[in-house]
């Protein structure tokens, strides 16, 4: 069911501009910064969890220090189960909030609090709550890329790895579903499950830019390449995929498929982990520009790009950028988030 609620305008930084402002390290300086970060992580009983979309430097550091690199669901789960009393979340704000929802007793820090998410920004809690009130008979399912307050209004939180299964499960029980915020993922879920949902109309600035016509041209250049697509991408791009899936599922496909070349329609930060898991294969970013189009993200989230080694060292030195959530809202958000974890554990 196509619903067009008011989606507020918000500022989207240009990734190239963000990257131009990042520090440039000599090999010696990078080694010094990394050494200092490792020392502070140990001193503060802290663990670093990093999303697939942040820089290779941060992903490698998480790997090397006993932390974790994964999607938002596994990042939160790892942080909850790890004995460290401080969790450093390299990613975007909702990921830090999710960690705090699950582990209120722990200190949660982020390299920068400016790292937003377009899906989160496109779904303000007050407007979303008013929208939900129009459909009181619907079960509210929200993507993890949302604020604590939006999660508190939801019945279930999902990630892309379990969204199809959970919506299908709800429909089998005769439930009507209200979905938010990503319109492309919502449409993909409808297509796969056959379940008609009331849908919010947000979008990811990275995935929304992938272009089918340019992708077709690239496929002709690399005829033996398999095409891996995240379901936040437009319909016409998804239709060209050999594999559609979450970030973790796309990495698994890169390992398991026999192809030696892959065209990848998700944030190219994932290439670090793909190359690590499949070192004999080549990965090519799907086109996010073409005739009449100019990309702002160019296959890399500007807010993910804001995370860097200097900011990480700064927050470990000063204790700044701590995540706090209102306890009354957190308890409500925990209910829908825990349902996500419980459902995922049964799959």
Q: pTM of the full predicted structure?
A: 0.94
What size, in residues, is the chain? 347
Classify 195 as helix, strand or coil. Answer: coil
Spatial distance between the Cα atoms of 119 and 182, rounded to a whole number of angstroms = 7
pLDDT(8) > 80 = no
Portions of the chain given CATH number 3.40.50.10800: 15-116+304-329, 119-205+341-345, 207-285
Q: Which CATH class is domain 207-285?
A: alpha beta
Determine the topology of domain 119-205+341-345 in CATH.
Rossmann fold (3.40.50)
Task: Give the pLDDT confidence of 246-298 residue by residue, as tens digits.
Answer: 999 999 999 999 999 999 999 999 999 999 999 999 999 999 875 544 577 78
Count the neighbouring beta carbons within 10 Å of the beta carbon of residue 208: 18
Q: Tens digits of per-residue pLDDT, 224-260? A: 999 999 999 999 999 999 999 999 999 999 999 999 9
Structural fold of domain 15-116+304-329: Rossmann fold (3.40.50)
Residues 6+ apart with CB under 8 A from 339: 155, 156, 157
**If you compute the radius of gyration of the chain from its CA atoms, what whole number of angstroms results?**
20
| 323 class by beta-carbon count within 10 Å (0-12 exposed, 13-18 middle, 19+ buried) | buried
């Amino acid at each position: 069911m196509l619903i067009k609620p008011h989606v507020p305008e918000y500022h989207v930084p240009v990734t190239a501009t963000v990257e131009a402002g990042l520090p440039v390290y000599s090999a010696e300086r990078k080694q010094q910064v990394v050494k200092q970060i490792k020392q502070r992580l140990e001193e503060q009983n802290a663990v670093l969890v990093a999303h697939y979309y942040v820089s290779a430097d941060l992903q490698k550091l998480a790997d090397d220090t006993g932390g974790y690199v994964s999607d938002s669901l596994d990042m939160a789960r790892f942080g909850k189960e790890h004995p460290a009393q401080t969790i450093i979340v390299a990613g975007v704000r909702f990921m830090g909030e999710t960690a705090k929802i699950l582990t209120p007793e722990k200190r949660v820090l982020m390299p920068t609090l400016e790292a937003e998410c377009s899906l989160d920004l496109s779904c303000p809690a007050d407007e979303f709550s008013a929208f939900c009130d129009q459909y009181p008979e619907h079960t509210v399912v929200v993507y993890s890329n949302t604020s604590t307050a939006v999660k508190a209004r939801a019945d279930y939180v999902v990630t892309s790895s379990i969204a199809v299964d959970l919506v299908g499960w709800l429909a089998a029980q005769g439930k009507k579903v209200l979905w938010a915020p990503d319109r492309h993922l919502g449409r993909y879920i409808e297509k796969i499950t056959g379940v008609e949902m009331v849908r919010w109309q947000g979008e990811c600035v990275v995935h929304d830019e992938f272009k089918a016509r340019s992708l077709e041209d690239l496929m002709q250049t690399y005829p033996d390449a398999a095409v891996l697509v995240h379901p936040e991408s437009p319909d016409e791009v998804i239709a060209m995929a050999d594999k559609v899936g979450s970030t973790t599922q796309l990495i698994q496909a890169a390992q398991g498929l026999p192809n030696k070349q892959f065209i990848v329609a998700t944030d190219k930060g994932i290439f670090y982990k793909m190359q690590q898991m499949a070192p004999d294969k080549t990965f090519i970013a799907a086109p996010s520009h073409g005739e009449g189009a100019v990309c702002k993200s160019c296959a890399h989230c500007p807010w993910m790009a804001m995370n860097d080694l200097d900011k990480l060292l700064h927050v470990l030195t000063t204790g700044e950028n701590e995540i706090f959530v209102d306890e009354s809202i957190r308890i409500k958000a925990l209910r829908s988030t825990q349902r996500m974890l419980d459902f995922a554990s049964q799959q």
